Amino acid sequence: MAVITTRYRTVSRIILVTLLLFAISVGKGKNQSRFGNLSGHFQSPDNSITTTPGSFLASMGPVLTPNGTPNLTDTTQYSLERQYHQYISPPSGSGDGRVLLHIGGLFPMSGDWAGGQGCEPAVYMALRDVNNRTDLLQGYRLVVTFKDSKCTPGLGMNKMYELLYNQPPKIMLITGCSGVSTFVAQAAKMWNLVVLAYGSSSPALSNRERFPTFFRTHPSATLHNPTRVKLFQKWGWTRIATIQQTEEVFTTTVKDLEERARKAGIEIAIRQDFLTNPAVAVRNLKKQDPRIIVGVFYENMARRVFCEVYKEKLYGKKYVWFLIGWYPDKWYLKPDPNVNCTAEQLREALEGHFTTEAMMLNQNKTVVSDAGITAQEFEDELKKRIGKAPSDTEGYPEAPLAYDAIWALAFAFNKTIPRLAAKGLKLEDFEYSKREIMEEIYNAMNSTNFLGVSGPVSFTSEGDRIAWVQIEQMVGGIYNKTGFYDYVADKLIWYNIEQWIDGQPPADRTLLEPTLRVLSVGTYIAISVFAALGILVGVGCLLFNYKHRHRRLIRMSHPDVNNITVIGCMICLFCVFLQGLDGQFIPPEVFPQMCQARLWLLSIGFLLGYGSMFSKISAVHRWTTRGKKEGELMKEWELHIVLIVILVLDLAALTVWQVLDPLYRELEDFPQEDPPDIHKDVKILPQLEHCESHHFMIWIGVVFGYKGLLLLFGLFLAYETRSIKMKQVNDSRFIGMSIYNVVVVSLITGPVTLVIRSQPDASFAFVSIAIILCSFLSMGLIFVPKIIEIIRNPRDGAENVSLTDATVVQEDEGRYNQLVTDNEDLKKAISEKEDHIRQLHKHLQDKASQYHQRSPPFAADDTPQNLLRRKTSRNFTAKMGSMTSDSSPTHYQSNGDSVFDSYSTFTTCTTAPTTVAMTHDNIKTGGAAKTNLRQSLKVEDALTIGNDGNSDSAIVADLHVTPKIDRKDQKVNSLQENAIMEISL
């Protein structure tokens, strides 16, 4: 359906052209008769157009000079030649008998790249020169049928179909604009057509699988990339940004640039693209802080891009832009309704940028090319033909490539003629279905090699043009050639005339001045003074222990273990100095060794200091839970074995860490800061040194884990033994208090340090103060009470051995006062009992006297039983007398058993059988009273000992004895009453 529609459009256009020719032929007036006369020359009797450009101009009699040369300007001549080739190209032959070889031409006269404006005149010049050569294409004449593709792929394909579906057959196609060439070259193989492009630079066109019959005189855009990479290397740039229009030609170019840059060790760090509006892409580009920027887009988009560049201030001394070099020299001055910036603003934004383009005009302009003219002659004639300034003509730089394209296909056709003749074929036999002719033309193009006005012309196996690349820089709105690059020889020819705003190439990124965040010297000195003071205090504690090592007060505190605690504290305090040694004091290569020293010393110092206290508190806990005897001494090795086990485990963990994953120096980067001098193109990059390893957090977790368990277990033991006071470890309570302090401070310091490790002053101060605080508290709690006690009692043996008893808390004081009161009450009760005993003794003496008076010395009843009873009575009386004479509680306790034994014997011998049972019960009661009396006497002695302050455990025991005193009194009273009653009986 599309083909039918295209054909209808073609037919309609042919009809319009016919009507136009008819109007010209029948027109009236001076000009009409002149064109009518002209049309007579165009048409032959057989309705075939045979007029050539020369005869066409020759028929213009009124415009000829007297000597026969055309009296026309170059512009008028070009216009008439264009009319000839555009509308009345003869279908089969020419007036001179030569066969016409028809070529289809697609020229972008408008659109994204209107390169046809400069290239089409060059093609006419080439057709003229080729057709005028008698030694080239003998018997043939080249004719080009032009179509405007407007650089639009869809329209370009439509124009191609018009060319192919309208007679005569086109033996070859020439195109411009990469987008159109991509579609045309991919479809041309279906018609066995060779395509030659004069203005297509897309790297994608180098793909022989997609474009098997494609050639181009315009070098591939990838030819720019080796040049760009060479310049990047020349100026030491390794970080590049790109911004591109979303077209295949530019996408493939940037992809090739990325690959080449990667191989050269250059990073394409920033990529931005856009379709129609570059504003967002430019804005995003600026946010990423680019410095060296490669921009690939068409000319009309270039104006819009740099308008946004001007608005975003993405230009100046800090930036370098690289653009495509095939824009006209004054392309930014062209009015554009889509650009809301002035030409002056665009020129300001473009100042200093570089362009790279393939050499499109032979630099040796005096050398005659194989076309018979020099580059200078070509340039002079082209300027006359276009009728305006080259800077205002798009496609002017590519015009030499278009000129050489016609010569390239002419030379290829010339080679093909004898080859086809050998096969019995001719060029005019070409049809879209005859592949043989196409293959010969293809082979001839592959081997083409000549000197054109653009320089040497030859093609690679991919159909690409091999050429040098020239580099230009805009200075003051004018492009200056700064050098050339020969990709084949990898040779850069540089003139060293480039200009920089600052006199030197800018950096490829914001220059960062790494600045170490170091510890404040004042903070370091202040904390170090306290650490040094702590070490001196530790030395003093060691000397104190050594000097008084023979005193019982020191010996009962296990001085060796206390010395280990002090040494551990001193090591930790020494680590304070190491913690503050950073990059301002030591070089980077020494920093890892410093990390190792910090870790080992701090860990060992902690274990020596805390581990020794832990060994003490654990020994106290074991001693109390196992029920050791009061007088048994604690063995020193019991304390040391715990410390050794902890230390060995810690050293093993540290050794494994350092062997498998040693510490190294790592820099932490912080957000960039502005420099004090705002005119400098630099940023301050704050950095902080850290001791790191590959699995640092895992190792820290392991170390913190088992040490945290050790701290918590020590806290538990300290709590469990908080009320225990032992002579074997006379400073156990102070050890527990030290453990409380160390645990609390350590559990706070560890997590907080991990959080504030990025703040050197805060981290150092927090850790150092924690170390100093724990060290001072531990040494103070352990040694200050000993020092005070020895100062109070300088004589050896006069001090209070039990330090923890010397300092009684408020609760113990209350208990002590209560016991003193109870002791006084007991003394009163004992005094009352002594009075009762004396009264009892008196009654017994009276009764004994009365008994002796009534009984004769030798009565008739002097049986052995009666004699025993009398003897017992005398013994009882003697015992009671001795007790009366010595009423001390101790004497009661020692003689109580004899008194009550005598009393028991006496009552047994004197009572009747009815009284014996009651006496037996009273004897048992008397035994209980005897026991209670003995206990009461012991209470007084215990109270006396407790009152002396020598045994707090005895005081605690008195609290349990006191409530039984009332019951003891009752039993003693009962005993006394029974004894009196029995004696009376």
Each residue's pLDDT tens digit, 955-974: 333 434 444 444 545 555 55
Query: 736 and 607: one domain?
Result: yes
Query: 447 and 572: one domain?
Result: no
> At 335, which CATH number?
3.40.50.2300
Query: 712 and 566: one domain?
Result: yes
More confident residue, 634 or 408: 408
Query: 257 and 208: one domain?
Result: no
Question: pLDDT per residue over 42-71, tens digit each?
Answer: 333 333 333 344 433 333 333 333 333 334
* pLDDT computed for residue 552 by the predictor: 78
* pLDDT band per the 50, 70, 90 thresholds, residue 204: confident
More confident residue, 808 or 500: 500
* pLDDT computed for residue 302 by the predictor: 94
- Region 606-634 average pLDDT: 73
| Domain finish residue from 742, 775, 791 | 791
Least confident range from 358-362, 447-451, 906-910: namely: 906-910
* pLDDT computed for residue 627 by the predictor: 56
* pLDDT computed for residue 800 by the predictor: 54
Q: How many domains in the chain?
A: 3
More confident residue, 737 or 294: 294
* pLDDT band per the 50, 70, 90 thresholds, residue 744: confident
Q: Evaluate whether residue 539 is within a structural domain.
A: yes
Q: Evaluate whether residue 849 is within a structural domain.
A: no
Q: Evaluate whether residue 822 is within a structural domain.
A: no
Question: pLDDT per residue over 527-557, tens digit each?
Answer: 999 999 999 999 999 998 888 888 877 877 7
Question: pLDDT per residue over 176-200, tens digit each?
Answer: 888 899 999 999 999 999 999 998 8
What range defines the domain where residue 386 resides?
Answer: 98-220+367-465
559-579 vs 521-547: helix crossing angle, rounded to 10: 170
| Domain finish residue from 399, 433, 465 | 465
Which residue reads 């394209």 in tokens? 405
Query: 605 and 702: one domain?
Result: yes
Q: Evaluate whether residue 656 is within a structural domain.
A: yes
Q: Evaluate whether residue 542 is within a structural domain.
A: yes
Instruction: Give 563's Cβ-side CA count (13 Å radius).
Output: 14
Q: Evaluate whether residue 964 is within a structural domain.
A: no
Q: Evaluate whether residue 575 is within a structural domain.
A: yes
Query: 530 and 676: one domain?
Result: yes
C-alpha distances out from residue 837 to 112, 858, 878, 885, 929, Å: 137, 32, 14, 12, 13
Q: Evaluate whether residue 87 is within a structural domain.
A: no
> At 520, which CATH number?
1.20.1070
| Domain finish residue from 769, 791, 813 | 791
Q: What integer best gives the mean pLDDT of the chain?
A: 76
Instruction: Please list, in sequence order, all residues whose beta carbon lies within 8 angstroms of the beta carbon of residue 691, skipping any fewer than 6 positions away.
Output: 591, 592, 595, 598, 599, 663, 664, 665, 666
Query: 548 and 570: one domain?
Result: yes
Query: 557 and 696: one domain?
Result: yes
CA distance 955 to 939: 10
Contact 192, 433 (CB under 8 A): yes
* Structure-block tokens of residue 497: 């005339």
Query: 215 and 232: one domain?
Result: no
606-619 burial, b if ≥16 CB within 10 A, otherwise e?
Answer: bbbbbbbbbbbbbb
Amino acid at 263: K
- Angle, alpha carbons 294-295-296 (nearest 5°): 125
C-alpha distances out from residue 51 to 42, 92, 496, Å: 5, 12, 55
Query: 425 and 484: one domain?
Result: no
Query: 411 and 486: one domain?
Result: no
Query: 727 and 749: one domain?
Result: yes
* Structure-block tokens of residue 380: 């002079």
Highest averaged pLDDT of the listed ranges 431-440, 580-589, 674-683, 841-850: 431-440
* pLDDT band per the 50, 70, 90 thresholds, residue 887: very low
Residue 901 pLDDT > 50, yes or no? Answer: no
* pLDDT computed for residue 394 by the predictor: 86
pTM above 0.75, yes or no: no
